[in-house]
Amino acid sequence: MSYFDAASAAPLHPVARQALQASLDEGWADPARLYREGRRARLLLDAAREAAADAVGCRPDELAFTASGTHAVHAGIEGALAGRRRVGSHLIVSAVEHSSVLHSADAHEASGGAVTRVRVDRAGRVSPSSCAAALRPDTALACLQSANHEVGTEQPVAEVAQMCREAGVPLLVDAAQSLGWGRVEGDWSLLTASAHKWGGPSGVGLLVVRKGVRFAPQGPADERESGRAAGFENIPAIVAAAASLRAVRAEAAVEAVRLRELTERIRARVPALVPDVEVVGDAVRRLPGIVTFSCLYVDGETLLHELDRAGFSVSSGSSCTSSTLTPSHVLKAMGVLSEGNVRVSLPPGTPQEDVERFLSVLPGVVSGVREKLGAPTAVTKVPASVDALVVDALGRRCPIPVIELAKVIGDVPVGGTVRVLSDDEAARLDIPAWCEMRGQEYVGEEPSDHGSAYVVRRLS
């Protein structure tokens, strides 16, 4: 079995396993106590904090360990907003932030705060000028991930941090995906991360608050972790997290070159091997191990199951793999195809042979899924008898509306239109994406008695 979902959780690093086992015997006592066992635990905790701080590039007393990366995000946003409540209650986030950031933004907005969600381009990248334009006199905090968790696009953190600093606004950086590869550059104010993303144990997060940043921890007071993370520290897991971060950093430069070559191979060969595929995310400014692509006429859930049966563990942002049946907020914000979405995120040490086997298996898997769904193999070139057609796809989930569109586009003359009726939210994203990929014109969306009508004009 080839595990290709390191962006969700990286396999436990051997150094993390060793450190965890060793510290179970020494790090079980209360580090706040003065007796021998407590002092041993305190030494382990302090050493782990120093190692993690060195990897981040901050002072040890600026770094707190939390119960998870999500907890670090929530605590960081809430504390920074509360600390600057006299300035205002305006929060800035990018449209492609991790759900933990966006959920915090939703909660802030529900409680009366103001939120600006900065748009991204089709590569998933924000522009520094857009972030600067979002700044207001009452802006309390801005949030920007260092790199995207779904498509791997790196964000211009240093430039945005400089603009925020000049405006007197703290910037919180979610560095969960990138910290294992290197420090986050720029004059940021707060930083969060999660150990299971770099091969540490789950249940350990990092929250860094720079000296001089106004910060007011929320919730009941607690003396642990400078009051920023309540509860007894999981010292064995913390030690393992810090040890593995130091270990992956030592390997990062060499491994980044190797994984970047493997993902570049996937980016180049998948469109050549599989027709009607869109590779998404920035082609250059991206993390080494992540490559994401979307396939037309494919049920995402079925595709992932078939790849699993073939021996590959991958993930997806497709609406078909979600219980909500809505496309990934990242793909939606980028305006790219969401159906049949596959994210390949290679863990360090991935053999080249596994990637080659994936590339040999993928075309057959996609073809098989398309055949089951009755997807067209090409646009039909037949004499057209009508100038306009209506496709009723109400109650049918993507990719079916797009498949039905592709089947009939050749039945109208050049200049003729097809109206697709659909009540699946993914159609709002996938039909325009299909038009761009197939050289047809997306006219727009019209209201309908049920759902929406998506109008497409045939150009070729």
Residue 436 has pLDDT above 80, yes or no: yes
Peptide bond between residue 376 and the one before it cis (omega within 30 degrees of 0):
no
pLDDT digits (tens, 9 = 90+) for 32-81: 899 999 999 999 999 999 999 999 999 999 999 999 999 999 999 999 99
Residue 385 has pLDDT above 60, yes or no: no
Smallest Cα–Cα separation from 240: which of 17, 402, 35? Answer: 17
Smallest Cα–Cα separation from 411: which of 441, 389, 439? Answer: 389
DSSP symbols for 352-406:
HHHHHHHHHHHHHHHHHHHHHHT--SS--------SEEEEE-TT--TTHHHHHHH
Q: How far apart are CA 15 and CA 241, in angstroms?
A: 9
Residue 380 has pLDDT above 70, yes or no: no
* Known active-site residue 435: no
339: buried, middle or exposed (CB in 10 Å: 19+, 13-18, 0-12)? Answer: buried
Mean pLDDT, to the nearest integer, of 110-128?
97
Residue 222 has pLDDT above 90, yes or no: no
Mean pLDDT, to the nearest integer, of 387-394?
89
Check if the beta carbon of residue 195 is closer than 8 Å to that of residue 56: no
State whether residue 35 is helix, strand or coil: coil
Residue 143 has pLDDT above 90, yes or no: yes
Residue 450 has pLDDT above 90, yes or no: no
The active-site residue out of 143, 295, 320, 435 is 320
Total Cβ atoms within 10 A of residue 382: 8
pLDDT confidence of 145, banded at 50, 70, 90? Answer: very high
Q: Tell me how long the chain is.
A: 460
Phi, psi (deg, nearest 5) at residue 356: -65, -40
pTM for the model stands at 0.91
Total Cβ atoms within 10 A of residue 232: 9
Check if the beta carbon of residue 234 is closer than 8 Å to that of residue 326: no
Sign of CA dihedral 331, 428, 272, 376: positive
Total Cβ atoms within 10 A of residue 225: 19
Total Cβ atoms within 10 A of residue 137: 10
pLDDT at 154: 98
Residue 300 has pLDDT above 50, yes or no: yes
